[in-house]
Every structure is written in structure tokens, then in C-alpha cells.
Amino acid sequence: MWSPTLLTGVALGGMLGALARYALGAALAPLVLKSGFPWVTLLINVSGSFALGLLSALALRGTVSPEARAALGVGFLGAYTTFSTFSVDLDGMLLRGDTLRAGAYLLGNVGLGLLAALAGRVVGR
């Protein structure tokens, strides 16, 4: 279960997921600054939910090896998505009294994330 291949895959996947998240955040930073809304975190969490739903469906079909699932799911997507940033962003909106945006952000991350995971699973079938 804890083979060197599996651990290396998770480590490399995590590195690439973190780099992808950083690059997307840097590329979209002007949008966030202009709008004051954490679009990057929302986009990352929804796209990551879709990708993990797809990966899970493919794994259930047996088309993805356990090593690839660990590298992509735990490694890449674990580093790419970010529940902690979502939580801090939401807390900041609530502290500023921006309840309408906070509600939209909460529903966007949870609702769209769930829909994206379901869509990924359907596509994976």
C-alpha cells in the first residue's frame, strides 16, 4: 500500500497541483482585485470537484490504477483545491458584513462544487 511509486506519485501530484493553483491565482488576481470577490478559489474548488468526481467514476470502472488515483486525487487535487482558503474568504466577508456576497460564495462553492462532482461522475461513466 505504501509503495515508493505511490508515495512519489502523491508527492509529484501535490507539487503540480500547488503550482497549478498558484499559477491560476496569479493569472486571475486582477479579476479578484477588481471585483472584490474570490473568483479564483471558487473556480478552483468547482473545477477540482468536477475532476475528482470524474476520477472517482473512472476508478470505479477500473480504468485508473490505485497509484494514478492517489497521485491525481490525493496529490494533485488535494493541493489544487482549497477548503481552508474558502473558509477564510467566507469568514472575511462575514466580518465585513458582506452577507449577500458571503451567501453567494457559500452557495457557489458548495452547490456548484456538488454539481461539478456529479457532472464529473456522469462524464466518467
Confidence grade of residue 83 (pLDDT, cut at 50, 70, 90):
confident
| Inter-axis angle of helices 113-124 and 39-61, nearest 10 | 30
CB 42 within 8 A of CB 116: no
Specify binding-site residues: 78, 81
22-55 tens-digit pLDDT: 999 999 999 989 998 999 999 999 999 999 999 9
0.85 surpassed by pTM = no
Specify binding-site residues for Na(+): 78, 81
CB 17 within 8 A of CB 75: yes
The pLDDT of residue 82:
83
Structural domain including 119 reads: 4-124
- Cα-atom radius of gyration of the chain, to the nearest Å? 16
The pLDDT of residue 12:
98
- Structural domains counted in the chain: 1
